[in-house]
Amino acid sequence: MSHDIFRDGQVHVLSEKCATCIFTKHRPVEGDRVAQMVRDTKDDPGATVPCHSTLYRPDKQENAICRGWYDRFAEQDEVLRLAHSHGIITFDPPPTDSVWPKPKDSA
C-alpha cells in the first residue's frame, strides 16, 4: 500500500508530532508494535513510517512521515539525507484532530 509521502516533487514530513504520536506515551498501539515498525524501516533506505493521524482520514488530509520517526531516524537514512540536501522536504502541520481517540489525560 502506498501512503504517498512523496508527491508534488516533495517529501512530506509533519512539522511536529501529532497528539497521539506512536513515539510518545499517548500512542494508540503497544510499544512492541512500534519497535517492530522501527525494525522494519530504520535500516531500509527510503523506508519510513507515515503518521497514523494522516492515514485513512475522511477529510482527505495528505499523508506525511511521522515526526517522531523522522526525528529519530532521518539522519541515518541516505534517501532522506539526499532529499534534505536537495531541499525537497516539506514540513506539513499535523492534523488538528486525530482519527484515533484522544489520550485520557489530555484536555
* pTM for this predicted structure: 0.82
**pLDDT 10s digits, 50-71:** 998 888 776 677 899 999 999 9
| Distance separating the N- and C-terminal Cα atoms of the chain | 34
User: What are 12's strand-pairing partners?
Assistant: 90
Task: Say if CB 66 and CB 51 are below 8 A apart.
Answer: yes
Q: Residue 96 has what DSSP assignment?
A: S
Per-residue b or e along 56-73, where b marks 16 or more CB atoms closer than 10 Å to that residue's CB: eeeeebebbbbbbbbeeb
**pLDDT 10s digits, 17-49:** 988 898 988 888 888 999 998 999 888 988 999
**pLDDT 10s digits, 68-95:** 999 999 999 999 999 999 999 999 998 8
Split at pLDDT 50, 70, 90, the class of 98 is low
- SS3 label, residue 48: coil
- What are the residue ranges spanned by the domains of the chain? 6-92
